[in-house]
Amino acid sequence: MSGEPRNPEERPAPSLIERINDRADLPRADLTPRHTLHPSLHHTVLLNYATNANLSLPATHFRVFLLDCWLKQTPPPHAHRYACSVMPHPAAILLTLTPSEQREFLPKPLLEAVRSLATLFEYLDPTNLTPAEFQRALTERNPEILIACWGTPPLPAQLPSNLRYVSYLAGSIKHLLTREHITNGLLVTNWGHSISRTVAEMALLHILAGLRRTTHWTLVMHQANGWKNNESAAGSLFGRRVGIHGFGPVARELLKLLQPFGCAVAVHAPDVDATTATRYGISATTTLADLFADNEIIVELAPLIPATTGIVTEKILRLIRPGGIFVNVGRGAVVDEPALLRVATEGKIAIGLDVFSQEPLPAASGFRRLSNVTLTPHMAGPTNDRKCDAGAFALNNLRAYAADHPLQAVITPSIYDASS
């Protein structure tokens, strides 16, 4: 597509430009520059037209190449004589994943689908780039969309002029960009609820490991060459009372996994009222103390915000009855960790932890010495084979962006503030 003006006598289909600019009873089309593109492309403009014009157009926004408009910086007198195509694509996408991130989050079918969305697609491996080198490269390429992940260095304070959208394939974006980037208009999304089921799966693993004393028997069988005896106790999940602190997407996925076990589930969360409880078949608990005292298994899934930091105190933890289970796959700092260690050392309850106040967990941590504690190194998120779920989620958002549709998992300033 050359971008050259059409012959003045050649008119496009009457359903688009002609129906706007050749009818005196309709408002004129407003053609305004939107981005400065890569040098190999013409300037892209956005055709904004009022929805009350009753044109029955497929959308109110069209990206149209208008060479004359770009050269003169003014709308031509008759847009229909210059429009050469409707372009539903973003102008340019820059992918900044490490090779392993690209393989796992965007395997070939997903990567090719992402490529097809942009007029210009570029890949930049950030592995050996310093933050300054990355920022220079980002400014030089000046993409409309940046696809980033854990290995992407921080964005500069002054963003490239064309950058409108950052599609972050992982979770917390605080290492990548600032709150000011968002308040200044940068659109940002992350992996949203796409990983919730794998986190819930890890919670279930820790519950079962605690009930079946997996760490204890692993040590007995592998290191002590031991075997069970008549006093070897273990428990089952069937028919248990489970209390969940927090009721976000992970908690809702965990409910699905618990269904086959016939558990009675109680939830303590500010957004769980009687209507929500009825919809999900749970009971709402008024206080955190009641949640811990009335249930045999506690799963910690509350978000880490100022109001929840250290909210699970030693007094609360000691409400769990002997033989109970405490699992945390949410945020480590929600729990008073020294208090949790004191409770764990007494050996009266089993504990499963995937998250910690300090990560990596120090080598000298007392949790490492306890056979009633099951530990995993903050790996409840997507397993290598399911990182593609986050990639597929990002692809759907990119398609929505290209079509001017609402996006999912948008990071607002308040969500940024509440994230860890």
Evaluate if residue 271 carries a pLDDT over 80. yes
Per-residue pLDDT reduced to its tens digit, 43-62: 223 333 333 333 333 333 33
Per-residue pLDDT reduced to its tens digit, 20-45: 444 444 444 433 333 333 332 232 23
User: What pLDDT score does 50 carry?
Assistant: 30
Mean pLDDT of the chain: 84
Sorting pLDDT into bands at 50, 70 and 90, what band is 390? very high
Helix (H), strand (E) at residue 65: strand 61-65
Query: Percent of the chain having pLDDT more than 70?
Result: 79
Cα gap 284→272, rounded to integer Å: 6
Neighbours of 288 (CB within 10 A): 19
User: What pLDDT score does 130 carry?
Assistant: 97
Evaluate if residue 164 carries a pLDDT over 80. yes
> 213 with 268: CB under 8 angstroms?
no
Cα gap 72→46, rounded to integer Å: 16
Neighbours of 67 (CB within 10 A): 16
Take residue 401 and report the two structure tokens written for it.
């962006």
Domains of the chain: 14-81 (no CATH), 92-191+387-418 (3.40.50.720), 195-375 (3.40.50.720)
Mean pLDDT of 187-191: 98
Evaluate if residue 129 carries a pLDDT over 90. yes
Take residue 111 and report the two structure tokens written for it.
């990567």
User: What pLDDT score does 124 carry?
Assistant: 98
Take residue 191 and report the two structure tokens written for it.
């992996």
Neighbours of 58 (CB within 10 A): 12
Sorting pLDDT into bands at 50, 70 and 90, what band is 231? confident
Evaluate if residue 230 carries a pLDDT over 90. no
